[in-house]
Amino acid sequence: MRPVWWVLLVGALLALVPVQRRIDGIKGLYGPIRDVLYLPSGRVISQLSLGNEGLLADIYWTRAVQYFGRKRLEKDVRLDLLGPLLRITTELDPHLLIAYRFGAVFLAAKPPEGAGHPEKAIELLQRGIVANPDYWRLWQDLGFVYYWDLKDYSHAVKAFEVGSRQPGAQVWMKAVAAMVAARGGDPETSKLLWTQIYRSAENDQMRENALDHLAALTAHEQLEGLDRLLDRFRQLEGRPARSIHDLIAAGLLRGMPVDPSGIPYVIGSNHKAELGPNSKVKLRLLL
């Protein structure tokens, strides 16, 4: 039965050639219509492929790359066929990892570098994860699409954290999850992840890095608390505090607060709490 379908498919495609040439000859608003998918379903093509799904997947992947490259050269931001071409490719070969990874980049990047459809990139990567559950780098790619393209920090943290638990995943995946959590305003999750990294670290450098991040998170929280006390002092006294000693004298603090490295906090020229000049805390790690 398959040979019969194959003959019918070839015949149908040949019959479309003169029709397509006629369409290409019509100069409409957008010029020749060159980008056409005669069979938009990878599953249909797979049924008609006579066991050549892998070969056809390579062909469609090549076409997707050529299509993307040509559009870039022409500075054409309309990439309507990119998503369908990638879908067909991965339906023909669900394990063609390069199509998921580079395809997601093509889809997610903003025009003119890409299609500007990060939601389609996420859909592509999620299908790739289902088909390749043990390949941790798809979780990595998913996390970066959420982080860079959608600024969705909570989903990015989840992607990096789940990916870090997959076979062979690099330890930095959990570190990235922790940093994104801090960037996204979730210090408790960030602390939890950095604590896990510290406990499971295989070398001193990784442990020191985890401790530095934990110290920065603690200092950041303490600085925010001091700023709230400074606002309270201004409300009570009608003037800004000149030093931490003013807060102690007003009964807002019991003693001199110090950062995780043991150095007292100070009040800066902007009337906000700051790290002392000799502090060893690296707040830049949270940026």
23 confidence band (pLDDT: 50, 70, 90):
very low
Question: Residue 11 pLDDT > 50, yes or no?
Answer: no
Summary count for the chain: helices (H), strands (E): 12, 2
Each residue's pLDDT tens digit, 105-125? 999 988 888 899 999 999 999
Average pLDDT of span 208-222: 93
Give me the chain's average pLDDT, please.
Answer: 83
Average pLDDT of span 181-201: 86
| 171 domain-assigned | no
- What is the share, in percent, of the chain residues with pLDDT greater than 70? 82
Average pLDDT of span 181-207: 85
Average pLDDT of span 268-279: 95
Q: What is the pLDDT of residue 49?
A: 55
Domain boundary among 152, 169, 184: 152
Question: Residue 5 pLDDT > 70, yes or no?
Answer: no
| 25 domain-assigned | yes
Ramachandran sector of residue 274 (left: φ over 0; alpha: ψ -120 to 50; beta: rest): beta
Average pLDDT of span 32-61: 62
Q: Are residues 113 and 239 in the same domain?
A: no
Q: Are residues 91 and 225 in the same domain?
A: no
Q: Domain residues for 268?
A: 214-286
Token pair 């959590």 in the structure block, residue:
181
Question: Residue 146 pLDDT > 70, yes or no?
Answer: yes
Q: Are residues 133 and 218 in the same domain?
A: no
Q: Are residues 15 and 100 in the same domain?
A: yes
Domain boundary among 109, 126, 152: 152
Q: Are residues 6 and 133 in the same domain?
A: yes
| 189 domain-assigned | no
Q: Are residues 109 and 221 in the same domain?
A: no
Average pLDDT of span 42-51: 57
| 69 domain-assigned | yes
Give me the number of domains the chain comprises: 2
Q: Are residues 141 and 242 in the same domain?
A: no
34 confidence band (pLDDT: 50, 70, 90):
low
Q: Contact at 8 Å (CB) between 174 and 168?
A: no
Give me 215's structure tokens. Answer: 């110290």
Average pLDDT of span 169-179: 89
Question: Residue 33 pLDDT > 60, yes or no?
Answer: no
CATH assignment of the domain containing 133 = 1.25.40
Q: Contact at 8 Å (CB) between 240 and 246?
A: no
Q: What is the pLDDT of residue 30?
A: 35
Q: Are residues 139 and 226 in the same domain?
A: no
Q: Contact at 8 Å (CB) between 45 and 88?
A: yes
| 205 domain-assigned | no
| 191 domain-assigned | no
| 199 domain-assigned | no
| 202 domain-assigned | no
43 confidence band (pLDDT: 50, 70, 90):
low
Please tell me whether residue 122 adopts helix, strand or coil conformation: helix
Domain boundary among 152, 172, 189: 152
